Amino acid sequence: MKLKDSISLAWSTISKDKLRTGITVSIIALGITALIGILTATESMNQSLKESFSAMGANGFTIRYKERNMNFGGGGSEVTKTTKSKQKKRKSNQGKKITYQEAVAFKKQYTFPATVSVSARGNFSALAQYYDGTKLYKTNPNVALQGSDENYLELNGYKLGSGRNFTVQDVNSGRSVAIIGYDIVRKCFNENAALAIGKTVLIDNIPYQVIGTLESRGASAFMDLDNIAITTYNTLRRVSTITGSYSIGILVKDYNHLEQAIGQATGLFRGVRKLEVSEESNFSMEKSDAVAEQMIGYLGGITAAAGVIGFITLFGAAIGLMNIMLVAVTERTKEVGLVKAIGGTKVAIRRQFIFESIFISLLGALFGVIFGVLIGNGFGMYLGTGFIMPWGWIVMGFVLCLITGLLSGVYPANKAAKLDPIVALRYE
């Protein structure tokens, strides 16, 4: 029996037994769908994070009062330091939030050729409302209210869709003006950005005059970048409560000067924070892509989990496939005896059963890859990323299934090849 005859006969056999083949293929496809689906979704999240957190560019950094860690829980904000001069423990202002005075002082004193922006977070579950005289329009209570200055949009990658940016006079006076994101324009002004300019919008029941609207940036893996309302930090101080600490963004004109800019900013801010020479810096210098890299690193755990799920499912599928092939050998004992009686070799019989096992496994891989890519990219569409084909993982999925089919078919194939033709022909 030639190789092509073995392949043809194997394909014909699994085509006839549709129920058994379908069940086995489904088990294998489930594991590959989980593996490829989660990995494709993870790639979408990676892409979304890089697009979102790289808005400042590689030549930007942010001063925060502590490192931004993506975990749950936390410890106390006050620690003890030991000075070399006194050799005794004293309380430091470690963990102290950056105040308005410190942030503004830094912006005024920083002389490095760079753009500096001071910002603060307000309520991140605010409700935006607009009344046109006849109908009240409102958003869900999940609008992020942000306090900023005239440089905030540039440093955070936002572009004006209509209207104007804040001026220095807007910031210093603390007048109630706001720039609203695309989601608010869509829900309160039927996507008519020009209509929003000059109108009064209530945000947390505080009236703001809309002076500008933002172009859509879509959603990232962990935030909706369009569901935002930006006012000046002085306005936020006057009408609302600052959530957390002030932060300072710096955008350097030349990437080659980034480390120099960070060094000068560190020295200046230590003075602003009134730190002694013996004390460590109680603030964090965070490069613009640092958070993205940190979160992408955490996503590696999701990738590992996807691999574990896929391997466990494939292991179970391999056991199921081997049992099904053993049952097939038992059911086709008489057929094997007949093949041997007319001159069929052990090699030909072994080859036929192995091909059957491989074909079933590869069919599972094919359906699993198709469904996995569709599910993963469905999540990517929600995040606003492009279509992703994780070719490396797809190839690995097919290779894994090929190996699974081969290993699952070897023992049943050997068992069939070793059958005595006379005993096999008499089998009932």
Pair (229, 331) in one structural domain: no
27 and 84 fall within a common domain? no
- Domain boundary (257, 288, 319) is at 288
User: How confident is the model at residue 92, as a pLDDT?
Assistant: 47
pLDDT of amino acid 103: 95
Let me know whether 320 and 269 are in one domain: no
Give the end of a domain, one of 269, 288, 307.
288
Residue after which a domain boundary falls, among 242, 259, 288:
288
**Does residue 105 share a domain with residue 242?**
yes
Compute the distance between CA of residue 376 and CA of residue 276 in angstroms, rounded to an integer: 52
Q: Do residues 247 and 373 share a domain?
A: no
Our count of domains for the chain comes to 2
Residue 156 CB neighbours (<10 A): 24
pTM above 0.85, yes or no: no
Residues 37 and 79 occupy one common structural domain: no
Are residue 400 and residue 420 in the same domain, yes or no? yes
Same domain for 284 and 300, yes or no, is: no
Residues 268 and 309 in one domain: no
Q: Do residues 195 and 223 both lie within one domain?
A: yes
User: pLDDT tens digits for the chain (428 residues)?
Assistant: 577 777 787 788 788 878 878 888 888 888 788 888 888 887 777 776 666 555 556 688 999 987 655 443 334 333 333 344 443 444 445 568 999 999 999 999 999 999 999 999 999 899 999 999 999 999 999 999 999 999 999 988 899 999 999 999 999 999 999 999 999 999 999 999 999 999 999 999 999 999 999 998 876 545 678 999 999 999 999 988 787 899 999 999 887 888 999 999 999 999 999 988 888 888 988 887 665 566 666 667 767 776 787 778 777 777 877 887 777 777 777 777 777 777 777 888 888 888 888 898 899 889 999 998 998 888 877 766 778 888 888 888 888 888 888 888 888 888 877 877 766 566 55
Specify whether 69 is located in the same domain as 201: yes
Q: Which domain holds residue 329?
A: 3-51+295-425
Residues 239 and 277 in one domain: yes
